[in-house]
Every structure is written in C-alpha cells, then in structure tokens.
Amino acid sequence: MFRPASSLCLLLALCSTVSAKPWAEKMFQERTHNFGDVARGAKAEFRYELTNLYEEDVHISSVTSSCGCTSPRIEKQDLKTHETTAIVAKINTDRFLGQKGATLTVTFTKPYYAQVQLQTRVYIRSDVVFSPGSVEVGAVNEGQTVDRKVTVAYAGRSDWQILDVTSTNPHLSASFEEIGRGRGNSSYQISVHLDEKAPVGYLNEHLLLKTNDHNRTQVPLLVQGRIEPSIVVSPSTLFMGNVEAGQTVTKNIVLRGATPFRVLSIDCANDRFEFQVPGSTEPKTLHVIPVTFKGGSTTGKLEQTIHVETDLGCSVPDVPAYAVVQ
C-alpha cells in the first residue's frame, strides 16, 4: 500500500487510468520561479526541492524543458523515505536575451507514473555583464569565512551607477567600488564576504545590485556554495527495517569529523531505541554508534529523532530513525 510517512494512507492507482499527479506535486516545495532581471552571462540557477513523503521508493526518470533558454537536471533520481533532491533549472544567459520562459516536465516512474510541470520566467539584460558570472563560494567548513570579488561591466547610459548592494542573508554582506567610467561604459568591483556564523547547508542566495536605472532598478547576483558540517553523520536517515514484534535489530550510525572529537551523549524520546555510547574518552575523527531497536507489541510505523552531543561545541545533524513493527 502507498502510504505517506506522517499522515493517513493515500489511496491511489485503483486502476491503471487513475491519475497519480497530485501525490507527485505534493512533494515539491515550489513549482514556479521568476528569476527577474539577470545580467548577460550571469549564472542563474534555481533548485526546485522535493522530498519523498511516502514509505515507497520514488524514482525520477527524466526532466525536459520546453525552451532552450533553460537547461534542467536532476540532482538525485532515487529517493527513499524522507530523502530530498532537487530539479535544478539553469538559465542559458550566454545564448539568449530578453524575456524568456520555460515549462519543465518532470517524469516519475516509481511508485506510480506521474508528470509534474515546473515554470520558469526570466528577463536577460544585454547591457550588464558579470565577470565571473556568479559568486562561487564552493565547499567550505563550518566556521570558515570566505571573501570573493566580481566585476560588473555596464554599456549604455553615461550616468549609470550602482547605488547599493543588499542581502537578505545576515551572514552575507557586500561592498562596491567604481573602477572605470567613460563613453557610456562603466565598471564596478563587488566585494562579497561570508561570515563564520553561516549555518550548515546549501548557500543559494542573491545579492541585489540597486542602480539608478528607473526602468530596471535591480540586478541580482547569484551566490552559491555549501557549508560543510564539522561532523558528518551517516546514514542521514536510519531505517531499522520491518521488525517482528519482540524482535531486536541493531544498526550503526557513523560520525566523521574534520578534527578529533568525543561523543558526550546520545538520546531519543522513544525507549525502544537504545544506544551504546563509546566507552573510550580518547578523541577520534570517526565514531561508530550501535543503535538497537526492540520491536514491542504495538504494530505499525514508529518514528523518532536521534540527537547526538559532542565536545566540539557545534551542532550535529539530528538523525530521523524509523522502523515498521509487523
């Protein structure tokens, strides 16, 4: 039976002609995105994130675009319960100009066939060029600061100016400096700073360049990267399996750190999950934590969150854990 991971059963596929589209749409956080105005040659990407809400595995077989102005790709095609992926839409700003739009068709073949359509809109400017096309932070460790520079070239009005550069991310800031002007051309250097308090996860933000252009006052500058946690936990979701009532199952959680650390405590709200805290007090870069689940008399799916504390003082990603007691 096809069941949501945290709600009542979803009854689908009563016959081969029943459309399964709503279950697939429900997994997406957003299905439309307007890039607004972007500079020619700028890197413009958007991640349509989706999460498998169901117990069955989900497979994304393909994604196609109705317009060559947008190139889509799938980050990860196979998803187990609670796993997340994204359809990444990339605007080809080096080959197209003006107002553009595309429909992305995402095709699923598991657990049922379905198609979901995603929409993109963008206006690609010909008078503003970024070099490089975006701010690429790359993969950085938690607590690390990063500084990058981008040059903005403009061709058109002789009095064109950048008035301000703003960010909605409190950990991302920028300043600007005019470095050239003449014969209708002007150029600026944008200095971008990411502070040490940026949270773990993907960085996918836009700085807004505010200008004195009355028709199109703002130009977005993409900032991308990933803040890597000081400690990586695998698996990210722990499935204990289908457990018979009274059966005991043990699986491992592995903690990897960039520097040696100690595990101070492990806890979970459900006493059916038991842990063996490492007995050694010696700091190590790798710890293997056995997790034991005891199937009781209550049948059905049990979900809990495993929380780990270490002596590094940084946050360790919580691990969703679940088992199905038969």
Which of 286, 293, 289, 323 lies closest to 307 in space, CA to CA? 289
- Residue where the block lists tokens 């500079």: 39
Q: How far is CA 13 from CA 18, 48, 110, 111, 222, in A?
A: 6, 26, 12, 10, 42
Antiparallel, parallel or unpaired: β 218-228 and 135-141 = parallel
In this prediction, residue 6 has a pLDDT band, given cuts at 50, 70 and 90, of very low
pLDDT of residue 141: 85
More confident residue, 301 or 80: 80
CA 197 to CA 204: how far, in whole Å?
Answer: 16
- Residue where the block lists tokens 């197209």: 96
Let me know: does 13 contact 112? Beta carbons within 8 Å: yes
Residues 265-294 have a mean pLDDT of 81
pLDDT of residue 15: 33
Let me know: does 326 contact 242? Beta carbons within 8 Å: yes
CA 297 to CA 301: how far, in whole Å?
Answer: 12
Average pLDDT of the chain is 87
What percent of the chain shows pLDDT beyond 90?
A: 53
Let me know: does 195 contact 171? Beta carbons within 8 Å: yes
- Residue where the block lists tokens 């460790």: 141
Residues 276-304 have a mean pLDDT of 80
Query: pLDDT tens digits, residue range 199-220?
Result: 888 898 899 999 998 888 899 9
In this prediction, residue 4 has a pLDDT band, given cuts at 50, 70 and 90, of low
For the chain, report the end-to-end CA distance as a whole number of angstroms.
14
CA 158 to CA 168: how far, in whole Å?
Answer: 30
Query: pLDDT tens digits, residue range 244-257?
Result: 888 888 999 999 88
Map out the domains of the chain with their CATH numbers. 1-122 (2.60.40.10), 134-228 (2.60.40.10), 231-325 (2.60.40.10)
Which of 132, 140, 145, 158 lies closest to 221 in space, CA to CA? 132
Report the Cα 47 to chain-centroid distance in Å: 7
More confident residue, 177 or 14: 177
Structure tokens at 163: 């008035």
- Residue where the block lists tokens 């979803």: 10
List CB contacts of 228: < 8 A, sequence separation 6 or more.
139, 140, 141, 142, 200
pLDDT of residue 7: 41
**For the whole model, what pTM was predicted?**
0.67
Q: What values do phi and psi take at 22, rounded to 5?
A: -55, -40
Query: pLDDT tens digits, residue range 27-81?
Result: 999 999 999 899 998 999 999 999 999 989 999 999 999 999 999 999 999 999 8
pLDDT of residue 13: 40
More confident residue, 35 or 304: 35
pLDDT value at 26 more than 90: yes
pLDDT of residue 279: 62
pLDDT of residue 8: 32
Q: What values do phi and psi take at 23, rounded to 5?
A: -65, -35
Q: What is the DSSP letter of 54?
A: B
